[in-house]
Amino acid sequence: MVTANPFLVNMGPQHPSTHGVLRLRLVLDGEKVLNVEPVLGYLHSSKEKLQEEHTYLQTVPITDRMDYLAAMSNNLGVALAIEKLAGIEAPERAQYLRVIMAELQRVASHCFAQAVFLQDLGAWGGPLMYFLREREQVLDIFEMVCGARLTYNYIRPGGVSQDVPPEFLPAVHGFLATFPKKLDEYEGLLTKNEILRARTVGVGVISRELALSAGFSGPMLRGSGVDWDLRKQDPYCVYDRFAFDVPLGHVGDCYDRFMVRFYEIRESLRILHQALEQLPPGEWKTPVPIVIRPPAGEAFQLIESPRGMLGYYLVSDGGAAPWRFHVRAPSFLNLGALNEMLVGSTVADVVAIVGSIDIVMGEVDR
């Protein structure tokens, strides 16, 4: 029963150090959510329009600033789209290096997602610092390769900016040797924790039908039991050469989304083992001119980023800059069913549900 005086509460705008600058206008009856209106745009910087004023190579570092927790994935997506548009093919070694970087990025991104989700639920201290500690090891590897820890500009049209240094392979092997045991420990500590389960099981349920109709992808879609992963369904780079499983949820609640990301980390480690074993020698880049002028036409490229299907749509008029540059951002689409997810829940559940989406507002407000 609804009281006679429902009231409006603004949750946010949040600081960028949390999930980004997202504002939710909640209509409440006591603690119960009657309606929600997401308000976006606080981080908008016209990245897509800016890309149309830059050469194709200059567009790559701007993509770092969209999903800044998965910049390698953004670099990969735009590089593949430019290569498709311009008829460029990267060498085999570069293809393997791209996969290695993309899966290391997935591990780092999911570690961060799990850390801040647990923090949202009130688990300060241990779990947060554990996952961030493992993420730091990946960032150390990225810094070794390209000198940066957040915005990399490493994967570029034609291949990568430079070959990996001699200490790279031992560092990745060392990470792969130690991380699985820590994951086992975290799984034992967290997955059956009574407080975690009370806050997540049956909360924010997304049905299979809603997930599909809302255009969800990534862990949001797979958490609802939909077996769809572009690395399997439409392989790019050399993903068709690796054996890995696609973790799925069964209920579509916050707990399932948490567990899907947990097991996706394990599958990324499987891919990394195989990619390192198969890594061929040879060239790491196909020479491309500083100013690429693709023939008039269009190209669209999808990849599986940590947050879902990330797509780049480019239109060329034969000039040095894209005539049209558009991004299919998974974070934006994953926010599309907030009303269905939040109405009927409590304010405390809102925090858990939004945290389980793993949004990056730099990708939404682009």
Report how far residue 85's alpha carbon sits from residue 83's, in angstroms, rounded to the nearest whole number.
5
Report how far residue 274's alpha carbon sits from residue 277's, in angstroms, rounded to the nearest whole number.
5
Specify whether the CB–CB gap between 275 and 80 falls below 8 A. Answer: no
Strand partners, 33: 28
Q: 106-110, 190-194, 272-276: which has the minimum mean pLDDT?
A: 190-194
Report how far residue 51's alpha carbon sits from residue 62's, in angstroms, rounded to the nearest whole number.
8
Q: Is 127's pLDDT higher than 90?
A: no
Buried b (16+ CB within 10 A) or exposed e, 100-110: bbbbbbbbbbb
Report how far residue 32's alpha carbon sits from residue 19's, in angstroms, rounded to the nearest whole number.
23
Q: Is 144 helix (H, G, I), strand (E, B) or coil?
A: helix
> pLDDT tens digits, residue range 316-364?
999 999 999 999 999 999 998 999 999 999 999 999 999 999 999 889 9
- Span 244-257, mean pLDDT? 97
pLDDT category at 86 given cuts 50, 70, 90 is: very high
pLDDT value of residue 347: 92
* Phi, psi dihedrals of residue 264, rounded to the nearest 5°: -65, -30
Q: Is 146's pLDDT higher than 90?
A: yes
Q: Which residues contact 298 (CB under 8 A, 6 or more apart)?
A: 85, 313, 314, 315, 316, 324
Enumerate the H helices of the chain as residue ranges: 47-51, 59-64, 71-86, 92-120, 126-146, 168-190, 194-200, 208-213, 219-222, 230-233, 254-278, 330-334, 338-342, 347-357, 361-364
DSSP 192-233: T-HHHHHHHTTSS---HHHHHHTT--THHHHTTT----HHHH
Q: What is the DSSP letter of 285?
A: B
- Selection from 257, 127, 261, 276 nearest residue 190 by Cα: 127
pLDDT category at 5 given cuts 50, 70, 90 is: confident
Give the domains, in start order, of the chain with CATH numbers. Answer: 56-364 (1.10.645.10)
Q: What is the pTM of this model?
A: 0.95
* Token output for 285: 């880049």
Q: At which residue do the structure tokens 């916050």 appear?
A: 254
Q: Which residue has the higher pLDDT, 268 or 189?
A: 268
Specify whether the CB–CB gap between 341 and 222 falls below 8 A. Answer: no
- Span 207-229, mean pLDDT? 96
Report how far residue 152's alpha carbon sits from residue 68's, in angstroms, rounded to the nearest whole number.
10
pLDDT category at 182 given cuts 50, 70, 90 is: very high
Burial (0-12, 13-18, 19+ Cβ within 10 Å), 303: buried
Q: Is 34's pLDDT higher than 90?
A: yes
Report how far residue 7's alpha carbon sits from residue 225's, in angstroms, rounded to the nearest whole number.
36
Q: Is 184's pLDDT higher than 60?
A: yes
Specify whether the CB–CB gap between 7 and 346 falls below 8 A. Answer: no
pLDDT value of residue 365: 87
- Span 54-75, mean pLDDT? 94
For residue 30, how many C-alpha atoms fall within 13 Å in the half-sphere facing its CB?
7
CB atoms within 10 A of CB 164: 20
Instruction: Put residue 316 in one of left, alpha, beta given phi > 0 → left and psi -120 to 50 → alpha.
Output: beta
In sequence order, what E strands does 7-122 have? 7-11, 23-29, 32-39
- Span 259-276, mean pLDDT? 97
The sign of the torsion formed by the CA atoms of 313, 238, 139, 245 equals: positive
Specify whether the CB–CB gap between 247 and 259 falls below 8 A. Answer: yes
| Mean pLDDT, the chain, integer | 93
